[in-house]
Amino acid sequence: MRFGLRYCNTGRYVDPGLAVELAQAADEAGFESIWTVEHTVVPGGYESAYPYSPDGKMAGGRDDFPLPDPLIWMAYVASQTRRIRFATGILIVPQHNPVVAAKQIATLDYMTGGRLLLGIGVGWLREEFDAIGASFADRGRRTDEYIEAMRELWGAEKPTYHGEFVRFEAAYCRPQPAAGSVPIIVGGHSKPAARRAGRLGDGFFPARGASAELIGLARAVATEHGRDPEALEITTGIGEDLASLRSLADLGVGRVLVPVAPMPGMGLHLGRPENAQAVMDQLLEAEA
């Protein structure tokens, strides 16, 4: 089992010095990856319901919290590390021009020697889509097509794509990712997200807790589409106590993420960079 940290572009780690300190400490302690999150804007007084809290609001009780762009944050921090991977958990794909995003993601992956993981989602905050000028109603279809278009740009010799929302012909997008593509991990604690992971994903990230039902659905859909269900990598957050690692392993979870700050339902968090080795030691002991 691999261990990562989330969500590292939030809270005190908005500060560039502390962000680098965090990543370097995690790298040295043996964490496999650090994960970021995205909101370009959070419109004040939004009415859309956040799906992961009872009151429908994001944690913190305020709308004006600082949240650096994940790709830029990762590019800055990655240059100061050696091994650790960098992941979005998630990038809101339908809010991005897929050709521009493919270029940015491929460049970052290439510059880091293939250390990027692209966690993706469709988004839930309608007011944010409105502020950006992105279409909300068809965001699911756009996400599916954008993923296909980005993979074409990353891996094809003469990238060509003719879709409903994206069209290009022999559009060279260089450099391509270090390994020819970037792993796409579909985030979301829902049946549509599980189905999308099965159809299109290299992995599935039910952040708020893996369940046999969702993992089984993702793998069943992978089988229906002629894909290897066991190749679908499962990532989730750590449970209420370290004993949960055994049950997660039994579900087939391959990567467990520890929050950098306290989160409801999560029994372990990092706190400060100097705790990285001690936290990793606890994880390895519990896994043994």
Stretch 243-259: mean pLDDT:
95
Domains in the chain (CATH in brackets) are: 2-231+252-279 (3.20.20.30)
Query: Encoding tokens for residue 146?
Result: 């954008």
* The pLDDT value given to residue 38: 98
145-157 pLDDT, tens digit per residue, is 999 999 999 999 9
81-109 pLDDT, tens digit per residue, is 999 999 999 999 999 999 999 999 999 99
pLDDT reading at 61 higher than 80: no
Q: Using pLDDT thresholds of 50, 70 and 90, give the confidence band for residue 17.
A: very high
Task: Tell me how many degrees the CA angle 54-261-208 measures, rounded to the nearest 5.
Answer: 40
Stretch 63-88: mean pLDDT:
97
Q: Is 96 left (phi over 0), alpha (psi -120 to 50) or beta?
A: beta
pLDDT reading at 60 higher than 80: no
Stretch 220-227: mean pLDDT:
98
76-80 contacts: CB < 8 A, separation 24 or more? 76/16, 76/19, 76/20, 77/19, 77/20, 77/23, 77/34, 78/23, 78/108, 78/111, 78/112, 78/115, 80/20, 80/23, 80/24
Stretch 210-229: mean pLDDT:
97
* The pLDDT value given to residue 228: 98
Contacts of 126 (CB under 8 A, 6+ apart): 48, 136
pLDDT reading at 53 higher than 90: no
Contacts of 103 (CB under 8 A, 6+ apart): 153, 173
What is the share, in percent, of the chain residues with pLDDT greater than 90?
91
Q: Provide the angle, in degrees to the nearest 10, between the axes of the packed helices 70-78 and 16-29.
A: 60
Q: Provide the angle, in degrees to the nearest 10, between the axes of the packed helices 191-200 and 139-155.
A: 20
20-38 pLDDT, tens digit per residue, is 999 999 999 999 999 999 9
pTM: 0.96
